Amino acid sequence: MATELMPAAFLGHGNPMNALGHNRYTEAWRAFGRSVPRPRAILVVSAHWYVNATAVTAMPRPRTIHDFYGFPEELFAVQYPAPGLPELAGEISDTVHPTWVGADVDSWGIDHGTWSVLVHAFPDASIPVVQLSINADKGFDYHLELGAKLAPLRESGVLVIGSGNIVHNLRGMNWDLPDAGFDWAQRFDEDAKTRMLTEPIDVVRLDAHGDFRRAVPTPDHFIPLLYLAGLAGAGGGSTDVLIDGYTYGSLSMTAYTLGLPTITDMGPTSADEQPPVPADVPPDTSKI
């Protein structure tokens, strides 16, 4: 069990089929899981729990949520039976006080923004997992500040992970570009990278970027990055790139770590292809 300061991360989760695939992104997630000290718990800010409240899961046995449709039955069969840690809800509430955080004991669980990366990073599902919702009623500054307030949890063995995509435009996806990004997607992602590698809290101002509306048509997948930026700002440090790249033209797969030495052992490099998405999945409702 970790007693030193835990690292933190933002992972670009992309296509839910990554849960079943093996490519350079999933290998990077595996390398990340092997590199961190064993956490007491994992706290995930997932793009897919985007609701009108700030809440944490507080059930002892969170269910695996398959929050998508149109994908193969094999994906719906995936289970991630990690335990919860109900007492962590109280710790989080105390840590971020006076910010109000509700305890969700029955409505949510572990969604695919969480389990699609954890099945690779921590495949034995033995570490307790808690999710923190994204409050859709709050602006970017709120989420950056809340991320900073979570910093003391790293001192008590909690691994904080944001899971989303910095560039996430489902309507702009091109199925013929499984491993490429449009020029505008690359411009936005590279600006985010410059900020994350120098002054992470500056990513909160990316809403003024000329490509912001195309890169971030909805804020849900971008906001998890702000939690890592807030943690980095609270510690006075910068982040490191875990892996980067693009898929379907309009999704960035870039991932960052905080407080973790550069990972060089990424495992196999030959399986670089993105797993295919079924052709009949509508891009605006596929919950990628």
Say which residues have a Cβ less than 8 Å from residue 160's Cβ, sequence separation at least 6: 6, 8, 9, 43, 44, 45, 147, 150, 153, 154, 227, 228, 231
The pair of structure tokens assigned to 139 is 């602006």
pLDDT at residue 281, rounded to an integer: 53
Can you tell me the distance from the alpha carbon of 181 to that of 9, in angstroms, rounded to the nearest whole number?
23
Among 46-50, 71-75, 271-275, whose mean pLDDT is lowest?
271-275
User: 44, 129 in Cβ contact below 8 A?
Assistant: yes
- The fraction of the chain above a pLDDT of 70, given in percent, is 90
- Phi (first) and psi of residue 221, to 5 degrees: -85, -20
Give CA separation, 126 vs 34, 138, 227, 262, in Å.
14, 33, 24, 25
Q: Could you list the beta-strand ranges (E) of 38-186.
A: 41-46, 50-51, 55-57, 63-64, 102-104, 109-110, 129-131, 134-135, 158-164
User: 166, 14 in Cβ contact below 8 A?
Assistant: no
The separation between the first and the last C-alpha atoms of the chain, rounded to the nearest angstrom, is 33
Can you tell me the distance from the alpha carbon of 76 to that of 231, in angstroms, rounded to the nearest whole number?
33
pTM for this prediction: 0.93
pLDDT at residue 221, rounded to an integer: 97
Residue 98 has pLDDT above 50, yes or no: yes
pLDDT at residue 288, rounded to an integer: 43
Helix axes 86-96, 140-149, angle to 10 degrees: 110
Class of domain 8-258 (CATH, top level): alpha beta
Can you tell me the distance from the alpha carbon of 180 to that of 183, in angstroms, rounded to the nearest whole number?
10
Instruction: Write the pLDDT tens digit of every residue in 198-236.
Output: 999 999 999 999 999 999 999 999 999 999 999 999 988
Say which residues have a Cβ less than 8 Å from residue 111's Cβ, sequence separation at least 6: 46, 48, 49, 65, 67, 131
Classified as helix, coil or strand, 148 is helix
Residue ranges of domains in the chain: 8-258
Q: Per-residue pLDDT averaged across 233-258, rounded?
A: 94
Can you tell me the distance from the alpha carbon of 143 to that of 135, in angstroms, rounded to the nearest whole number?
8
Instruction: Write the pLDDT tens digit of every residue in 130-169.
Output: 999 999 999 999 999 999 999 999 999 999 999 999 999 9
